[in-house]
Amino acid sequence: MESARLWIHSLLFFIFTIACLYVLDTLVISNRLTTDYQNIQLKKQPQLPLRFRSDGTFKILQVADMHYGNGMVTRCRDVLESEFNYCSDLNTTHFLRKMIDIEKPDLIVFTGDNIFGSSATDAAESLFEVFAPAIESRIPWAAVLGNHDQESTMTREDLMSFISLMDYSVSQTFPMDPMEQQPMTNIDGFGNYNLEVRGAPGSYLSNSSILNLYFLDSGDRAIVDGIRTYNWIRESQLSWLRGLSKRFQGQWKLTDQSVEIPPLPVMHPALAFFHIPIPEIRHGPIKNIVGTYREYVACSLVNSGVLKTFISMGDVKAFFIGHDHNNDYCGNLEGIWFCYGGGFGYHGYGVAGWPRRARVIQAELGKGKEVWMGVEKIRTWKRLDDGVLTKFDEQVLWDIHSSR
């Protein structure tokens, strides 16, 4: 009888265990493992094409070197002792939200070291957090990689692919072949692409690209003759850029034949964005410096001819970089302007008491008697995260009436 009783208890326990597992699987596990095709979330697309506003302006917010880690638990670097105990990655997030609110840009551009790989235990989670303010704003945003992004759990290709699939992102892993309409995977790097900005609504250039934005992957690290250095923009990238620039010049369509065409510029201007400075900035000579030059230029030992390429193309009026957090200046190299974004993120190195900062770029259209014309002027300024978002160092980078 005792053995029968034990057998019955064992059977009942077995049945109870199976029942519990069934309930757990039905109510919890299956719902997580089964794809719910009715609730699949597709990428939220930004409002495209990019175009100038009806007031004739197009504004870009440059965010350089956010160096995001793990959010609240990641402490700030190089801040005042009185700030340290309550300072984290969230200060970076708050600064970005404030910049978006006050400037209301048409495009947000992140110029690399968006996450600080060695401090980000999960790259994907950090990417969601670092770009959250841009996504919440529903403003189109674009990104390139710096030299630290890939130091976490994702490769550079995986990072750019992931970024390109995020809500409201206009980033691309590879440029598109205009003839084949296929990604051009034979170009060095990940995150080489271009964005076109069309004319103001209602203008005769409303369906034409009148400002081009070039994005380039400047890489991370490299070994040259046994010496460790920063990477550089390769010839395959520059060759693609030259072909792209040549194809764009002179391409515009007039849809309203009744409009009297104002005089057009020889070529529509372009701006370029990448992370690591080029060697010409270190070697100079630099003219007309506006801003603070307080850090030695950290660049590659290899001069691949980026500046020479920009000069030969003729359309690039300025390029925007990051990497050196304590530099926020603009300067002129052989007729082409370059500008540092200045350190934005609180987990990146900086100088205690020197506020984090951001750069704004604004392109402005010329005005004819009745219609908006092509791009007439490109200006820039910066803002500090000093409590009142002080605006300073406003300057004109390019003006069609005084251009060379």
User: pLDDT tens digits, the chain, 404 residues: what are they?
Assistant: 566 666 666 766 777 777 776 776 666 555 555 555 456 678 999 999 999 999 999 999 999 999 999 999 999 999 999 999 999 999 999 999 999 999 999 999 999 999 998 899 999 999 999 999 999 999 999 999 999 999 999 999 999 999 999 999 999 999 998 777 899 999 999 999 999 999 999 888 889 899 999 999 999 999 999 999 999 999 999 999 999 999 887 554 444 444 455 555 457 999 999 999 999 999 989 999 999 999 999 999 999 999 999 999 999 999 999 999 999 999 999 999 999 999 999 999 999 999 999 999 999 999 887 789 899 999 999 999 999 999 999 999 999 988 64
**Interhelix angle 123-130/156-164, nearest 10 degrees:** 40
Contacts (Cβ under 8 Å, ≥6 apart) of 50: 58, 106, 107, 140, 170, 195, 196, 197, 198
pLDDT of residue 18: 76
Q: What is the largest CA-CA distance in the chain?
A: 107
Residue with tokens 């300025």: 318
Read off the DSSP letter of residue 70: S
362 beta partners: 59, 379
pLDDT of residue 218: 97
ω into 262 cis (within 30 of 0):
no
pLDDT of residue 28: 57
